A and B are shown apart, each in its own frame.
Chain A
Amino acid sequence: MNSLILRTASRFLLILLFQFSIFLLLRGHNDPGGGFVGGLVLAAALTLYAIAYDVRSMRRFLPCRAQTIIAWGLLAAAVSGIFSMFKGQPFMTGQWGHFDFLGLDLHLGTPLLFDIGVYLTVVGVVLIVIISLAEEVEDD
């Protein structure tokens, strides 16, 4: 699509929505949000960008192929469940700990890693569908 307003806006929106999606992902455990919604926001932002420019330009933002993003997502989600097994607890028992990071007291746990896995999987799946469908349209 050749719209100057959309193009300009989508560039700023992409950055803002990306930050927003991370925000949603991280706050999810205590407030509305989570990996699934966060992933959808980022996927929507990238899709918007792809509509404003084209899919090829959008793909410059991806560090790897969409399939690989899905794979990393599933891996993260699956691995998050394994930690508890080292303590003799059943698979996927949440493990939590307090971490001191630059003076901040971070309360982190394996469910966050799981949520990151969900986030990546959702982003990957939406993108793989958009990319496969749209690239053919653009090629023809």
Chain B
Amino acid sequence: MIFAVLSGFVLALLAPTLYRLSARWSGAVFSVFPAILAFYFLSHMEAVAGGAAYRVTYPWMPAMGLELSFNLDGLGLLFALAITVVGTLIITYAGSYLHGHPSLPRFYLFILMFMASMLGVVLSDNLIALFIFWELTSITSYFLIGFEHDKDTARAAALQALLVTGGGGLALMAGVLLMGQIGGTFEISALAADNAALQGHRLYPLVLALVLAGAFTKSAQVPFHFWLPSAMEAPTPVSAYLHSATMVKAGVYLLARLSPVLGGSDIWLYVVTGFGAATMLASAYQALYQTDLKKILAYSTVSVLGTLTMLIGLGDKLAIKAAMVFLMAHVLYKAALFLVAGSIDHETGTRDIRHLGGLRKTMPIICAGAGVGALSMAGLPPFFGFVGKEALYEAVTHGNLPVTVVAVLTSMLLFAVAWLAGIRPFSGAETHTPKHPHDPPWTMWLGPVFLGCLSVLFGFVPVLPESLLSAAASSVLGKEVHMHLALWHGFNALLVLSLVTFGLGALVYWQLETIKRVTEFALPAVRRGPSHWYALWLRFLNWSAVGQTRVLQNGYLRLYLATIMTVTAVLAWYTFLTYGDVAVVAMDWGDIGVHEWVVGLVALVGAIATVRAQTFLRAVMALGVVGYSVALIFVLYGAPDLAMTQFLIETLSLILFVFVFYYMPPFKRFSSRVVIARHAVIGTAVGAFFTLLVLVATSVQWHPTISTYFSENSYLMGQGRNIVNVILVDFRGFDTLGEITVLAVAGIGVYSLIRLRLGKGRGS
């Protein structure tokens, strides 16, 4: 199973190369991979439905409690199948939808990487691993929303999605760490087995708030819902896959997965149910006002996410069952509708429902797919959406009255929205569109038709997905449950409620303009509010960043140096005078030979000459003298490696300085006497401290020296006799790796700064 999750990342890296080999049929070629994974997960269906959980563990960083442990239970399997099956259809579709797009290879890279990350999220049993995959989905989503990166709106939407979900991700990380601290483990299964410790802890409300912040931002719950409609800037296959079928459900998944750990308390019930209910109603209402096909679908997606959140908040057996059924129904119809919207956009050149009509004649196959999707979304029999809605009603009517009212109102609005998105573009008279529409190639209708067929099949024979959904509900509830789905429940109160919903929904659609006009007063509150706060917050962040940068990054090298030196001197002197023992400093001046005196004097003269120099060149030469003297001292005291390096560094920096002088203005003195005096004080303080430190360090031995360890072990463990080198490449090799990375970054930084400043932009 590790292979099943991680192979996606490997394939993603190879995607651009593979694309070159198969450009023409790339979509179909790449979709083979998720299809294989889908069959792999299907093959586990029977075992999982029988109650067995398939688990593999690979110790990643055992010292930090980080394990790659994957757990395939009912809930994980349901999501894994949604990810791989929809993924197969989406990639097939994208090959045609983005055909000829210059960045298509990059699209495959990100979408495959996303798919692998998403599988990681739904299969990880370790919270840290889950969090890493969770963040990977946010990042790949950022790249996919900003896929058309030359468009301002796409970039803004991508950034907005990243900031909102990334901010939630940070909260989630804190929540995860707290959970691990309190529970003593990061394994979700272990935490669920002993949830009393966590729920009884005084920090439980904080943990819950942090985790919910993560889940609510990811699943676009009010008041974070605004990023999802903006994310419709992404190419349609991305919207269908990430922002409808899979990624936005990660928050819902997390709630479901953690409900055995965190759920069951009163705050959980009120907060999760409350936010869910608010989201489902507010977004279904906003969906009515949209004219962009994708925006309509986006708001209705948010509404469904709210419904799922609400059901998980209610948390009883009926609610969890309903959540699973509703989730599956939504994956089937919403992905189909998104793909339909993409096809319409692709074939007609517009997604504005005011300009669309009569497409049933020109796009019959797409029309069939759209019709099934829309009717399932409206919750009409005999489609699977009806089964989902019945389950929802059954759950809420056992709950309480306010929730029931919200559910009925939302279903009524979504009924109208479904008509708006799935039926209206195809009915009525033909309209004039930018392009002359016709049915797209099979790769682009396969998705809606396949998903539509499943909606019909599961609607007529709801026994088929029963075992999977029961297993999923069982793993959320933590105990074995069986559900019995049926299209016909007999003539009962639920059916009446459904009929009322259909009637009201039809009324809303019929009187849409009137209703929109009457209820318009509420629109600014739900629509402008949160995204307005987001804009304000962003502006504040930018303002404060600019402000503090202006103060701290003032561009004067001498101020930077003065700041660094002052802070060092003050802190170091403070520590030294408080804890140091100055009395032990004792020097034997008689030991110093004449040649050492000479070298020391030369260095001193060089230092004075540097300070007093009147030209750049003289200053640098004098500085070189100091450096070479230090190198000589290394030679005298038997450190050939250091001496060699020091000589070369001095030489090269001298040369570099000479090149830099070319850009410098003539040598001038700007500093007043006060400034010079200030610098002298700072310099003396630092210099005196380090002199003292060296004297103390050489005369006292607080701890046993580590050099004996290195000299004893360098040949035995490092297989080398040059201790300096063995330390660099072996004992402290990881440090060196970090250092050369910094060196490389600095080199590239110099290169780009010089190129940027001169504005020539040539490659070298």
Contact = CB atoms under 8 A, between A and B. Distances in A.
Interface string B493-509: 00000000000000000
A33 B641 contact: yes
Contacts of A32: 640-641, 644, 722, 724
B744 interface: yes
Nearest to A94: B730
B535 to A, nearest CB: 39
Nearest to A127: B747
A108 to B, nearest CB: 10
A78 interface: yes
A58 interface: no
A31 B721 contact: yes
Given A31-B722, A36-B728, A92 B733 contact: yes
Contact of B656 (A37, A77, A130, A137): A130
B660 A36 contact: no
Contact of B721 (A30, A47, A92): A30
A67 B660 CA distance: 20
Contacts of A78: 737
Interface in A15-71: 24, 28-37, 40-41, 43-44, 47, 51, 65-67, 70
Interface string B648-683: 110110011001101000000000000000000000
Contacts of A91: 734
A40 B649 contact: yes
Contacts of A130: 655-656, 659
B728 A30 contact: no
B32 interface: no
A86 B648 CA distance: 38
Contacts of B660: 133
B58 interface: no
Contact of A29 (B726, B736, B737, B764): B726
B718 A111 contact: yes
Contact of A73 (B730, B744, B764): B744
Contacts of A74: 740-741, 744
Interface stretch (B173-181, B372-380, B616-624, B749-757): B749-757
Contact of A77 (B720, B725, B740): B740
Nearest to B718: A94
Contacts of B6: none
A133 B641 contact: no
B758 A131 contact: no
B746 interface: yes
Given A73-B740, A130-B656, A114 B729 contact: yes
A35 B720 CA distance: 14
B737 A135 contact: no
Contacts, number: 144
Given A118-B736, A132-B751, A136-B758, A70 B655 contact: no
A118 B740 contact: yes
Contacts of B733: 81, 92, 111, 114
Contacts of A33: 641, 644, 722, 725
Nearest to B662: A137
A133 B26 CA distance: 45
A6 interface: no
Interface string B36-61: 00000000000000000000000000
Contacts of A117: 740
A43 B725 CA distance: 20
B195 interface: no
Contacts of B717: 94
Contacts of A34: 641, 722, 724-725, 728-729
A77 B737 contact: yes
Contacts of B648: 37, 40-41, 44
Contacts of B729: 29, 34-35, 111, 114-115, 118
B721 A121 contact: no
A124 B743 CA distance: 10
Given A29-B725, A74-B741, A129-B751, A37 B645 contact: yes
Q: Which of B648, B741, B746, B763 has the most CB of A within 10 A?
A: B648
Given A31-B721, A37-B644, A132 B750 contact: yes
Nearest to A67: B748
B719 interface: yes
A44 B734 CA distance: 27
A96 interface: yes
B740 A29 contact: no
Contacts of A126: 652, 747
Nearest to B726: A29
Nearest to A133: B659
Contact of A121 (B640, B724, B743): B743
A110 B741 CA distance: 18
Contacts of B644: 24, 32-33, 37
B645 A40 contact: yes
B720 to A, nearest CB: 4
Given A81-B733, A122-B740, 9 more contacts: A24-B644, A34-B641, A35-B729, A40-B645, A118-B729, A122-B743, A124-B747, A133-B754, A135-B764
Interface of A: 24, 28-37, 40-41, 43-44, 47, 51, 65-67, 70, 73-74, 77-78, 81, 91-92, 94, 96, 107, 109, 111, 114-115, 117-118, 121-122, 124-126, 128-137
Interface of B: 640-641, 644-645, 648-649, 651-652, 655-656, 659-660, 662, 717-722, 724-726, 728-730, 733-734, 736-737, 740-741, 743-744, 746-748, 750-751, 754-755, 758, 763-764
Closest 10 CB pairs of A and B: A125-B747, A29-B720, A40-B648, A32-B640, A133-B659, A111-B729, A30-B721, A132-B754, A121-B740, A34-B725
